[in-house]
Chain A
Amino acid sequence: GEDVEQSLFLSVREGDSSVINCTYTDSSSTYLYWYKQEPGAGLQLLTYIFSNMDMKQDQRLTVLLNKKDKHLSLRIADTQTGDSAIYFCAERDNFNKFYFGSGTKLNVKP
């Protein structure tokens, strides 16, 4: 399968911005996704971006895609304690297969 890599941990203070990074290897990716997993729960789709877009903004979330470097990031503005969770990056290829990163655990300190 394709490699999708994320850093394992990120710690920020409440009110700061969080930036979670992801790199992938499949240049034929059609969509890229960010999912949020709260403790003991399933994954919740946060946002997605088409591979022909560079940026997508949705309220406090900003997704940036650098296709040349195969780098995806998720910026959370004004991070709240309720944003503490594991965030997964995922890519979908032309064959409708998804590849997930190992997740970044975001810890928001009050």
Chain B
Amino acid sequence: SQTIHQWPATLVQPVGSPLSLECTVEGTSNPNLYWYRQAAGRGLQLLFYSVGIGQISSEVPQNLSASRPQDRQFILSSKKLLLSDSGFYLCAWIGFNYGYTFGSGTRLTVV
């Protein structure tokens, strides 16, 4: 069966520090992968998506970047975090019935 893993579950980082969030998918090959951010009390904002290794599309200009070094690995990064980067970050892939399957999320607090 297909599963998606995200880590860490929570993260508290100081302003100006780097960030690396990892997402991996098991049980499928060449998945379409997505990074979303959910600000407190708000809906989901698509940040990046990838249709294959090395292919990244950015939806909004921001302080973040994404990479896909392997078929089933998707990484969200930042060189220097801002306070506004705080939020709940969700990785997803299109799976069952063409709907998203989401990871369990990473709660990032920038202090």
Contact = CB atoms under 8 A, between A and B. Distances in A.
B90 interface: yes
A90 to B, nearest CB: 8
A100 B99 CA distance: 12
Chain A interface SS verdict (over half): strand
Contacts of A42: 6, 90, 102-105
Interface in B24-67: 32, 42-44, 46
A35 B13 CA distance: 29
Contacts of B77: none
What is the interface residue range for chain B against chain A? 20 to 34
Contacts of A33: 99-100
A43 B90 contact: yes
Contacts of B100: 33, 35, 43, 45, 90, 98
Contacts of A88: 43-44
Contact of A41 (B42, B43, B96, B105): B105
Interface in B59-107: 90, 92, 94, 96-105, 107
B107 A40 contact: yes
A92 interface: yes
Contact of B101 (A40, A45, A100): A45
Interface in A39-77: 40-45, 48
Contacts of B98: 31, 92
A94 interface: no
Nearest to A32: B99
A100 B43 contact: yes
Interface in A75-110: 88, 90, 92, 96-98, 100-103
Contacts of B105: 40-42
Interface of A: 31, 33, 35, 40-45, 48, 88, 90, 92, 96-98, 100-103
5 contacts: A43-B90, A45-B99, A92-B98, A92-B99, A96-B94
